[in-house]
Structure 1
Amino acid sequence: MDRISINKISQVIQRGATNPLQELAEVAGISIDSRTTQAGDLFFAIQGQRLDGHQFVSQALSRGAAACVVKRGAVTDSSSQVLLEVEDVNQALMQFAGWYREQQAAQVIGVTGSVGKTTTRSMIYTALSSCLSGIQSPANFNNEFGVPLSIAGMESSHQFAVLELAASHVGEIRELAEVVRPQVGVITGIGHSHLEHFGTLQQTAETKGALFEQLPTSGLAVICGDDPFADFLTSRTTARIVRVGLGENNDLQAVSIEQDQQGISFRVNDQQYLIPVVGQHFVNAALAAIAVSRELGISEYDVSESLRNYSTVPGRCHQMQIGEWAVIDDTYNASPDSMRAACQVLRDFAGTGKRIMVMGDMLELGPETKRYHREMGALVTESGVNHLFICGKLAESVSQGARSAGMSQNQITIAADVELLAQDVIDHLEPGDVVLVKGSRGMRMERLLQHLQQTVSVRETTGAKKISCV
């Protein structure tokens, strides 16, 4: 973040009061977590669902915070430090972010959608960063707290910023997009995520489509043209439109798609691309990156060279080797749409070992939850999975769907929790097997990866090896 005087910040967030002894002080960054606050930061004492930041003002100051934004009257002992008092700290954070965004000349790319946001955001950043200076949202900084922190990462020297926007309730994308004010908007598609809160796919589309509404007429809207809601979404913007996808109706169409051990390759126009990933769903993210890069003046050849160095984000179909097993870490989240993509990854995986799926519940799907889980069980079977390990409250629904599609009972293992499932998975695995692990964030499926890594570590230490009986 560019350095800003405390007086200027006080003016921006309104009704602030600075300590006259420190009128010339500046802040170098913003923080909402006292544990990671650095010297010179401006600490916002936000009020979340579980914690109130006012409890940690003293800790933030002890770590060198230059000032703290607090609710009026909430902190009485300032210890002669600078306090900026406001009526609503959370609102002040968004207000500051909106003002700071207006000070930046960088091209801002906003990315949203039901699935693939993080992958698309990181793919765009990879394509742009080889030729331009810029940033992307760190980790999952994509909500009312994360987006302001992402914006604060921008500096006057940056030429672009790729910012991820997420929503768990109606209207949230509009609120974030009004602060982000993107020149380029990317919507990855509309799917069955957070239906418990959105209610219908139409309502999901209306919420996500607010990103396109914020684009200027001179801006660019990038949409997956194969998505059923593509026409609806593009009708909500006056910006130029680029459709990307696999169908012939797209402006950028990927053809000759092939998956091998090097990664996934495809062709757009006369340019060949190779991305070192597993899964055809990465192609749409790459197409969005190509479209955005062209808008910012980068050639398709340069994009092609950049994407050869793309590295998947942990938790998002991230391939890794744990001992003698190929493991696909897709643990960050799950929905019916992303689960279909995961099944396709296992089906197309280039290997000779067994294909193992370890699946946790898909959460926040509303009244049709059991049906979605039965459908996923059937899809797993149709994808040629050799053994299905399931945990969670919806495990029996998944099992029913798998059995109805022809999977035998001895190919299915059920447990209440991933911790209880771990040893069964480990006992079943043999050298050369591929195991894909997926579930909603609340299921914490990454714990299985920890068990696999611990098992390999113990075996390497003791020299023990699994003996297969034939």
Structure 2
Amino acid sequence: METISFEEAAKAVNGQLTFADKNARIRGVSTDSRNVQNGDLFFAIPGEHFNGHQFIVQAIDDGAIGVVVSREHTLDLKGRSSSIIQVANTITALGDLAKYYRQKLGTRIIGITGSNGKTTTKEMTYHLLSCFSPTVKSQKSFNNFIGVPITIFEIENKHRYGVLEMGTNAPGEILRLSEISNPEIAVIVNISKTHLEGLGSIEGVARAKGEILENIRTGGVFVYNIDNPWCITIADRYKGKSVSFGFNHHAQIRCTDVKKKNTGYMITINGYLDVYIPIPGDHNINNCLASFAICYALGHDLRDLKDALSSFKLPSMRMEQQCIGNITVINDAYNANPESVNAALQYLGEINTRNRRVFICGDMLELGKESYQLHREVGEKVARLNIDALWTVGEHACDIARAAKLSGMPESRIMSFKEVADISASEINTLKEDDTVLIKGSRGMHMEKIIEKFREFFLKQELSHNCF
């Protein structure tokens, strides 16, 4: 972070400032007292389980030179000296300071949103842009009112690019995130039925994603998926510059050929550029096209990126393949919605396996009144595809199991559990040597814990075998 003064910070957040050291400058920003560095400004953020106001003294002791606190909070520093900025709302203040700081930077900001593939597209874009200039990206899936500002504070003027991910489950969130970040390149990877509980309908999802264009920088570029009808609708209304990507023959960044190669794909872009994507899942072809479209929008020659993705690796819990005991596990458990579940199912149904294909699916959360129908459609697809066994986890996922059975999948090949904890050694023991197991579910289901159960089971088997 480029240093800023306390006067600047207080003015940016419309806060009341009490000084302990007028010469001190802020060298970083933290919202987690466990990660405070010397010179940080600590924002006391109220959370679901903890309130940052409880850790103000700890943050100061660990090196914070100032704190941002709510005016409603009674402050007791227990004799410690620190600069204090009092504000109406600390989360709003965090965004306001990030917005101010962003305007001081010469960095070109790329904002990426979409129903699926945001994180992978962000990682691919970072991978490509890092070939040209110093680049900062959102860590993990830092895509909300806290994660986006924290990423912005990591940017310095030495960085040519900043790649931000923006998520939402309610109207107005991306509008605010785009206001904070003021992106030069605004990207919508795709639009599908996600977070319907908060956004109401696919139309509501489209409106929410389209908010990213409300604060695009003057002269900026909209990058969009021309294969997605909702993205096309948004693009038709947008009056500024745009770059499209996809398989459609009108796409500016177009996939003109696809061949499977090893665990990934060799694709041809615009008829002349052969690019190797070393990761599974044909949905990742679109993510690749989006990242190349971003580079094109920034003025780069795509020929310079021909081999750049050959060393790319997916983020954790995205089609992450590993051998556990005598089975192969594909961990795609980071999150789930109807489109991403269908993509995972399609992949599982098409890959070459030595034995059975087993699909373990948890609830797809936040689907509102369409939840039953959307879970049922997944079950119907399971029955149509070459899936040998189905395990479901959660109240909503039971509808997947029922639909699969009604669509012709034998009941003997289906198991349902209320929660991950209900999966016991006896069920795991039904897995057979060389089975391929794909695990999918919404983040709130913590489906990755099943992998821990697998490891424990096979470790006990190995120890038992070694005893004889």
TM-score of the two chains, using structure 1 as the length reference: 0.94
**RMSD of aligned residue pairs (Cα, Å):** 1.9
Deviation track 1:264-290 (CA, whole Å, cap 9, x = no partner) reads 221112111111111000011100111
In structure 1, how many angstroms separate the alpha carbons of the residues matched to 2:466 and 2:348?
Answer: 29
In the alignment, what sits opposite 2:388?
A: 386
Is the partner of 1:428 in helix, strand or coil?
A: coil
Is the partner of 1:320 in helix, strand or coil?
A: strand
In the alignment, what sits opposite 1:452?
A: 454
In the alignment, what sits opposite 2:25?
A: 26
In structure 2, how many angstroms separate the alpha carbons of the residues matched to 1:246 and 1:404?
Answer: 35
Seen in structure 2, the aligned counterparts of structure 1 residues 32 and 286 have a Cα distance that, compared at 3 Å, is same
- Cα distance, 1:217 vs. partner? 4.9
- Cα distance, 1:249 vs. partner? 2.9
In structure 2, how many angstroms separate the alpha carbons of the residues matched to 1:262 and 1:91?
Answer: 44
Seen in structure 2, the aligned counterparts of structure 1 residues 306 and 74 have a Cα distance that, compared at 3 Å, is same
Matching of residues 328-339 of structure 1 within 5 Å: 328-339=330-341
In structure 2, how many angstroms separate the alpha carbons of the residues matched to 1:249 and 1:82?
Answer: 56
**Residue segments in structure 2 that go unaligned for 5+ positions in a row:** none
Seen in structure 2, the aligned counterparts of structure 1 residues 429 and 299 have a Cα distance that, compared at 3 Å, is farther
- Cα distance, 1:351 vs. partner? 2.7
Picking from 407, 415, 430, the partner of 2:432 is 430
Matching of residues 174-253 of structure 1 within 5 Å: 174-253=175-254
For 1:29, the aligned partner's letter is: G
For 1:253, the aligned partner's letter is: R
- Cα distance, 1:462 vs. partner? 5.0
In the alignment, what sits opposite 2:399?
A: 397
In the alignment, what sits opposite 2:353?
A: 351
In structure 2, how many angstroms separate the alpha carbons of the residues matched to 1:200 and 1:30?
Answer: 37
In structure 1, how many angstroms separate the alpha carbons of the residues matched to 2:425 and 2:299?
Answer: 52
In structure 2, how many angstroms separate the alpha carbons of the residues matched to 1:195 and 1:319?
Answer: 30
- Cα distance, 1:222 vs. partner? 1.1
In the alignment, what sits opposite 1:285?
A: 287
Is the partner of 1:22 in helix, strand or coil?
A: coil
In the alignment, what sits opposite 1:139?
A: 140
For 1:122, the aligned partner's letter is: E
- Cα distance, 1:80 vs. partner? 2.0
In the alignment, what sits opposite 2:9?
A: 9
Cα contact 1:108–1:184 (8 A) shared by 2: yes
Is the partner of 1:390 in helix, strand or coil?
A: strand
In structure 1, how many angstroms separate the alpha carbons of the residues matched to 2:132 and 2:456?
Answer: 41
Number of aligned residue pairs: give it. 464
Seen in structure 2, the aligned counterparts of structure 1 residues 424 and 206 have a Cα distance that, compared at 3 Å, is farther
Deviation track 1:385-437 (CA, whole Å, cap 9, x = no partner) reads 11111111123311121123321111111111122225355313333322110
In the alignment, what sits opposite 2:266?
A: 265
- Cα distance, 1:352 vs. partner? 2.4
| 1:88 maps onto 2:104 in alignment | no
Identity of aligned residues (%): 34
- Cα distance, 1:383 vs. partner? 2.3
Is the partner of 1:209 in helix, strand or coil?
A: helix
Deviation track 1:221-260 (CA, whole Å, cap 9, x = no partner) reads 1111111212221134332112211222322221322334
In the alignment, what sits opposite 1:303?
A: 305
In the alignment, what sits opposite 1:167?
A: 168
- Cα distance, 1:338 vs. partner? 0.7
- Cα distance, 1:49 vs. partner? 4.0
Cα contact 1:418–1:447 (8 A) shared by 2: yes
**Residue segments in structure 1 that go unaligned for 5+ positions in a row:** 466-470
In structure 1, how many angstroms separate the alpha carbons of the residues matched to 2:23 and 2:289?
Answer: 48
TM-score of the two chains, using structure 2 as the length reference: 0.94
Is the partner of 2:106 in helix, strand or coil?
A: coil
Cα contact 1:354–1:433 (8 A) shared by 2: yes
